[in-house]
A and B are shown apart, each in its own frame.
Chain A
Amino acid sequence: MPRMKMPERSPSQRAADFGQVNLGYDSEQALSEAKRCLQCKKPLCVEGCPVGINIPGFVKAIAEGNPAGAVDILKDKNNLPAVCGRVCPQEEQCELRCVLKSKNDPIAIGNLERYSADWEKNNRPVPQAPAQSAKGTKKIAVIGSGPAGLTCAAVLAKKGFDITVFESLHKPGGVLSYGIPEFRLPHDILQYELKYLESIGVKFTLNCLVGRTKSLDDLRNEGFKAIFIGTGAGLPAMLNIPGENLNHIYSANEFLVRVNMMKANVFPEYDTPVFVGKRVVVIGGGNTAMDAARTALRLGAKEVFLSYRRSETEMPARAEEIRHAREEGVQLMLLTNPAKFIGTENGFVKAVELVNMELGEPDAKGRRKPVEKEGSNFNFECDMAVIAVGLNPNPVLASLTPGLETDARGRLKIDENSMTTLPGVFAGGDIVGGETVIQAMGMGKKAAAEIERYLASDTSQSCKKT
């Protein structure tokens, strides 16, 4: 039996609004897909999941018509299933290891996870919290409310610790809130999962930039016994080419924050403006580039081009996102690289000078290195450009905290126990070099276990002292 296709809205319909592209399975579709699972004795799919979900277990519950049971099994290991079901690159993780993959039709684990999580949201308006185990009330601070911080917070809250999450922005969620557009992850889905975290005791302090609003020492003085840093990769990489600071050249972060978090797409009802380019060039080939290109189309751009310096095979974006972008009208300019931006006399961008590239020798990672074709430069008109060539670790906290060491690339140094160079201070996610939402969650989960262990041994030490 072939894999159940995910129903999606037509490209012309969906490119006109910010509604979800993928519609999700109905119960019959979910049931029939779940029944394809072979229920392996030694399930390899579980090994492919960074947080170790009991995949055959929850799939079996769906196959038996018990979505509530499926949710319980999912939430035992994953506190954000509606998010993960939507944004995880399953083809590189759980689904890559599925034994049915040999026939090229692995179980649609992500779609089934999403189905279960959505079932819960539609059937239990208030998320159900597990019974609290009163293990103690030790206070733990989590800095950053992105996927790493939320996961660490949830795992520790379930263990009975007293958790406060500190977030610098006015909304929690990190990249889930400001970065991933609503057509991939609707805000109400994220809200529901955040409400669930609150229901298990996680507290949020917003508008707090740790490092500036308060220091790590302040947190210790407030009685926090351990600290987890999950401040992410918030620093946009720029191209450092001439003309980059012309008007209407945006980092993907700026463009996406304006639209996703500040709702500039409904300006002037909301106060934050955003420019709607007619001819937009997005630089980059990752998921962020796809999100930016598709967002520009939805705002009303007539033409959106994506300039990527390698070929499609090397694109880091998920195949599904590339397909969706193409269907919606995003035009790929593969093997091109910007050399400079050209502006009007008032300082607005009017063109980008591109160079054609060809692929050379493979690099250390095995990716073929793009090499400029000399003399192939050409001007390409545009009235807006978005730079989505990657992000670097957020430097604010480390730069303001003596003793918190980073490597040459600005990533926090951690040991095998997820601990930074400061005792009792742990870290995970993009700030230590993670790259995807689920990797960050896996690191948040590991750090939570290490924090629990650290606090247990910490108690015994202080007992000895007295």
Chain B
Amino acid sequence: MTEHGPLSLHVPEPEVRPGGTPDFSNVPIPKAGSVPRPEVDVDPKEIRDLAYSIIRVLNREGEAVGPWAGTLTDEELLQGLRDMMTLRTFDARMLMAQRQGKTSFYMQHMGEEAVSCAFRKALAPGDMNFPTYRQAGLLIAGGYPMVDMMNQIFSNERDPLKGRQLPVMYSSKEHGFFSISGNLTTQYIQAVGWAMASAIRNDTRIAAGWVGDGATAESDFHAALVFASTYTAPVVLNIVNNQWAISTFQGIARGGSGTFAARGLGFGIPALRVDGNDYLAVHAVAKWAVERARRNLGPTLIEYVTYRVGAHSTSDDPSAYRPKEESSAWPLGDPVLRLKNHLIKRGAWSEERHKQAEAEILDAVIAAQKEAESHGTLHAGGKPSVRDMFEGVYAEMPPHLRRQRQEAGV
């Protein structure tokens, strides 16, 4: 034969599987406050190491430290805590509603609440998000009515999308929330196109694209980076690295070969990596990137390092592929607890007020759910009309659809 041995295929594996002891000792976590904050008009070549570090503001003691601290007032932070708690409570109730058969499907955000909630606060009215199915915090923090979200989830007679969409695939132009598609990463390049349009029209609005770690492997991720860079589009390109794409760990999308953020560098896009469970850090980094885009300095890529605590969806059982205790071993902790502790440290919050807020939020979510359920759930009560099924395929119904609608008896 030859002087070489046979070739072998490398298939990455997570360090730990069910039954094993979770171990994140290989995940380097820089100290809070240790990463510098460059000017927004910095030459991207000078901040390449930001793609390999993690920007963090909250330290172990719950103090806000370093150059990225100080973008939010007490009041704004309290609102941020309330937004995250609301999203978590909303998730818990909808998860239960799915188990009760009131809807067919749900996807929760457990552990990732800070990312979308804090990012939303860095945007201005008129900006447009191109979210995935795991950024409902953009709606909650943007003041979109929970009842309308639930109406969509229940596909009832008040469903803003007329029962046409799978639950959680919301759409709200008014709230800067582009229609969610089931097809992964398609929206990433669309965000870039939207931003290009804003630039073509000499507007001042910017776009934000969203993708998960697993979906960065889709070809539209690459297309988005090329277009964003070529045309210096005013877009913030977000990657939520929650370590898991259903059952596949981020190594299958070739995480660990550098970082996801670092993929921006090859395109000349400045890239930052941030503690996704640190509300203050997420907001500060988002604000930086939004300002860059707004000042026509071009796109920014941000990787949020976080952990998907919950199941991928209500159709998933994570105990089949990862240790049950893995989320509690996650070194960046829980975003709600960390902000809560920080606010208590600041003297702006207390355990008592937190408990009280939890109760208030639960009441509000239950009230919204009651109202939504009064308009129907998937299998009970009011539902969108069958006629709605035929509408909206085109601006005007063509003859063949009209014939089919008549055939269906509506």
Binding partners A and B: no
